[in-house]
Amino acid sequence: MSEIFKGRAFKFGDDINTDEIIPARYLNTSEPSELAKHVMEDADPEFPQKVQKGDIIVAGKNFGCGSSREHAPIAIKAAGVSAVIAKSFARIFYRNAINIGLPIFESSEAVEGIEEGDIVEINPETGVIKNLTKGTEYKANPIPPDIRRIMDAGGLMEYAKQKLGLK
């Protein structure tokens, strides 16, 4: 994962739960493209139409709290979001994001310094987050090499298949 993530910031507050990320009424499917059509719509009804490939979600504390459904990070990734920056993540969401290959970064300073619509760039190997709109820079923990390998494979299941020689 030497790719640099770059996109427009969409800003959300604290305690965005998995029902706001992907409402339960859409859980009759696990098809990523269908989930993407409804991602974040309870937090911002226009988000599914506004988000573009590469965009970045920026949020407050406890992002992804609530149920343990993997549908939430799947919907975010399927919508084209390249990464999520938050002050903190709910533990199960953090693990699910890694398992499906969605890059996530914790940085309170970045969240405070990034506004809706700012263009943001993230280097996953160094953890440097740049707000290109404002010319500011922040630091998050880089994604460790073992986790980058999982994400490069497309998630934990794909990584396991590769390791077992099934792919």
13-63 pLDDT, tens digit per residue, is 999 999 999 999 998 888 999 999 999 999 999 999 999 999 999 999 999
Place of tokens 């990584």: 159
Confidence at 160, pLDDT banded by 50, 70, 90: very high
84-106 pLDDT, tens digit per residue, is 999 999 999 999 999 999 999 99
Position 86 scores a pLDDT of 98
Domain assignments of the chain as residue spans, ordered by start: 5-164
Read off the pTM: 0.94
> Which option is the CATH number for 5-164: 1.10.3720.10, 3.40.50.261, 3.20.19.10, 1.20.1600.10?
3.20.19.10
What is the number of alpha carbons within 13 Å of residue 133 lying toward its C-beta? 13
- Contact (Cβ atoms closer than 8 angstroms) between residue 73 and residue 29: no
